[in-house]
Structure 1
């Protein structure tokens, strides 16, 4: 006589974690394509290949899934740049602790590494769904935008701003430095936000390894140009 097989608590936990992961990963793309209002719970469940009841069970509903998807997106981006970000923050903290200032040369080197990492990430295929999600939130910010901004955007922009301030020899919180930082970040983001236009202008079929190498060199040139000419003030 065969005995009924029952799942252990750890097996149930693993299945639950897998279901949550599927919903979070796939909902970023669905929400990015159709927006919060356009994405139905059925669409979200089908994209993840899970039961419709999994959404209210794990997230309390579509709104809960939307906010959780934003947090998941932030964690994915951090995972791609976290090692470099942590190394930069540790270096800055060590200098602050020792009462020393970073040299403009070191700031350029670090900013170049950061810009090259970001441009390579932004032209990757995997960042397409992230961009759709974030662009929608830029247009009509919700709580989801606050999660991504607080976790990823603000720290990265702040870190870039401090490096740019060092290069320019100005205060990090000055209006001029903040504007220069936003312009610099925008010059990197354009390769994702205007991806189709970039491919058309460059006569590229896709952003493969050779194209990424070109963009990495371009990112280094953008850093080298900082402070190279006369900074015009009103």
Structure 2
């Protein structure tokens, strides 16, 4: 694989080799996944000795954790998006309707698609971890996405006027998360079959608006279903 490595100044302290390993591992883990990426593949692609992975990161899980935890870009590139949970506005405190909160959620959640290649790879890696859990980062990723899910479930309940423990409100929250996740987990497919949807910042803004509209439609459909069948949904 030909990974487009950036120019990294040569330094005598070994920082160059470490940075090349991080950058190469990001590309390979994001493209192939954790299980299909070997340390030999990473070292060979980075052009460094295999022992450098052991020296700098201990082992493959250590390198994987470093790829997740170390910044590859200027954090100010997406200053408003710190965690997945922060993408959903505090609708109760701000007095937002469910529709307004969803519009804010999709607008922020899709912001990384506008950034450079590295941030897109980082986001792809995060969502690949959700789709194909390695166990290496299970707790950190689960906690972050769980917090977002719980907040969305609360929003669905708020929009429907039901308790947050309502099974169908929670099903709805999962469905709306799926709308957002799709454009990260299947980035390559989207670019291949519908590149115009994510080609420019403007097209991504339109995508966010449309997804919010579709999510609103899902809430409306569930509300209509409840009016037609006022029964308690089985869990």
Query: TM-score, normalised to structure 1's length?
Result: 0.67
Q: Does 1 or 2 have the higher relative contact order (CA < 8 Å, sep 6+)? A: 1
User: Are 1:192 and 2:184 counterparts?
Assistant: yes
User: Are 1:221 and 2:213 counterparts?
Assistant: yes
Name 1:154's counterpart in structure 2.
146
Change (3 A) 1:33 1:201: closer
User: Are 1:175 and 2:149 counterparts?
Assistant: no
Q: CA deviation at 1:57?
A: 1.8
d(CA) in 2 for partners of 1:137, 1:55: 25
Q: Structure 1 unaligned runs (5+)?
A: 1-10, 96-101
Q: CA deviation at 1:134?
A: 3.8
What is the alpha-carbon root mean square deviation over aligned residues? 4.0
The structure number with the bigger radius of gyration is: 1
d(CA) in 1 for partners of 2:32, 2:19: 20
d(CA) in 2 for partners of 1:139, 1:87: 23
- Give runs of aligned pairs for residues 41-190 of structure 1, distance below 5 A: 41-48=39-46, 50-72=48-70, 81-82=81-82, 85-86=85-86, 91=90, 95=93, 103=95, 105=97, 107-122=98-113, 125=117, 126-128=119-121, 130-131=123-124, 134-135=127-128, 138-139=131-132, 141-150=134-143, 152-190=144-182
Q: Structure 2 unaligned runs (5+)?
A: 1-10, 227-232
d(CA) in 2 for partners of 1:173, 1:17: 50
Shifted more, 113-122 versus 127-136: the winner is 127-136
d(CA) in 2 for partners of 1:175, 1:18: 51
Q: CA deviation at 1:214?
A: 2.0
Contact 2:154 2:164 in 1 (8 A): yes
Change (3 A) 1:168 1:210: same
Query: TM-score, normalised to structure 2's length?
Result: 0.67
d(CA) in 2 for partners of 1:153, 1:123: 21
- Report the structure, 1 or 2, having the larger helix content: 1
d(CA) in 1 for partners of 2:44, 2:101: 43
Count of aligned pairs between the two proteins: 211
Contact 1:28 1:133 in 2 (8 A): no
